[in-house]
Amino acid sequence: MHIGVIYALLAAVLFGASTPFAKTLVGQMPPVALAGVLYLGSGIGLLICYAVRAIVKRNDQDQPVALTRRDVPWFAGAVAAGGVAGPLLLMVGLTSISASAASLLLNMEGVLTSMLAWFVFKENFDRRIFIGMLLIVAAGVLLSWDQAPAIGLPWGAIAIIGACLCWGIDNNLTRKVSASDPLQIAGTKGLVAGSVNLAIGLALGATIPAAPTVLLAGVVGFCGYGLSLVLFVLALRHLGTARTGAYFSAAPFAGAALSLLTLGEVPGALFWIAAALMGGGIWLHLTESHAHEHEHLPMSHAHMHSHDDHHQHEHDFEWDGVEPHAHAHQHLPLRHSHPHYPDIHHRHEH
């Protein structure tokens, strides 16, 4: 299995499993404050990982590629959309919708991520991928209908779909910086987004609950938002935005399964029909294959790499022979054919 697929599926499992745990915390603190604690847990946990790695690798020749000044606008937009607005809308939605239905409804993130990637950022797609996304959309509509109250709109479902749109924007902007250090990206995002959300919550009158609750929320945030985002950034690097979003659509199934096992929720018929539709859509994405003759144009960038067919360059420094390694390097023109994804080296037109 492609390493990018593994990264995406692991990210999906971690994020999906966090939803039922977040549901149990919703009643213990206001949504804005909870979103802040979740992201602060992510940021603080990753900051510790970053510090430990820096100590362990302080004498290594190869160091992760840090964010650059030109990355800042993309990264700032990603933090605002996915780190501040998205979690807030999710917490609001969880106050009026079951955790299992919310978990499956989060599949809309993959759909909206892909739609933005295809029609705004011009990433390529084919009929198979499009049909898969239609199945996931149909499942999301069923879940929204199932959550509709007798009178009025299903505001819980609408809030979660809004969160998915924010994360779709976040994912496409994060792809622009995905060659950089994923620990730095995810950790900085957690610290900034967590601080902003928590400050908003406190300004609105929220109170910090008991230490055990805060600690549990921090651990949930570290696993479901922090480690998950690190893996997601790595998947973006290897798969592109739309494909990563498609594989990430497996997240709600992990969350729904955990909700059914731990929270004792009993889903209705529409839930299972939606689950079947989403499963079919994800299967179409998992079985996709894309290969054709394509041309690599000259480009220069920096990221962690090994010397494969795409990295046949010389070094202007004394290299210790360890792979993978990271440094600025230049790609010469190359034309060949092989199965590929729209990763950081395959963003060509079709």
pLDDT digits (tens, 9 = 90+) for 76-134: 999 999 988 888 888 788 777 776 677 667 767 777 888 898 889 888 777 887 888 78
Averaged pLDDT for residues 172-177? 92
What's the domain range around 207?
3-292
- Confirm if 136 and 107 have CB atoms less than 8 A apart: yes
pLDDT, residue 70, reads 87
Sign of CA dihedral 128, 281, 230, 61: negative
Does residue 147 surpass a pLDDT of 60?
no
Give the residue among 222, 212, 206, 166 at the shortest CA–CA distance from 40. 222
Shared-domain flag, residues 281 and 184: yes
Does 347 fall in a domain?
no
Shared-domain flag, residues 280 and 331: no
* Alpha-carbon distances of 311 from 141, 148, 193, 335, rounded to whole Å: 45, 53, 36, 13
Of 162 and 136, the one with more pLDDT? 162
Q: What is the pTM of this model?
A: 0.79
Shared-domain flag, residues 191 and 309: no
Shared-domain flag, residues 52 and 151: yes
pLDDT, residue 151, reads 42
Does 335 fall in a domain?
yes
pLDDT, residue 78, reads 94
Shared-domain flag, residues 101 and 237: yes
Does 311 fall in a domain?
yes
Residues 6+ away with beta carbon under 8 Å from 200: 32, 36
Shared-domain flag, residues 178 and 312: no
Does 350 fall in a domain?
no
Give the residue among 48, 96, 111 at the shortest CA–CA distance from 244. 111
Q: What percent of the chain has pLDDT over 90?
A: 22
Averaged pLDDT for residues 284-308? 75
Does 66 fall in a domain?
yes
Distance between CA atoms of residues 329 and 316, nearest Å: 9
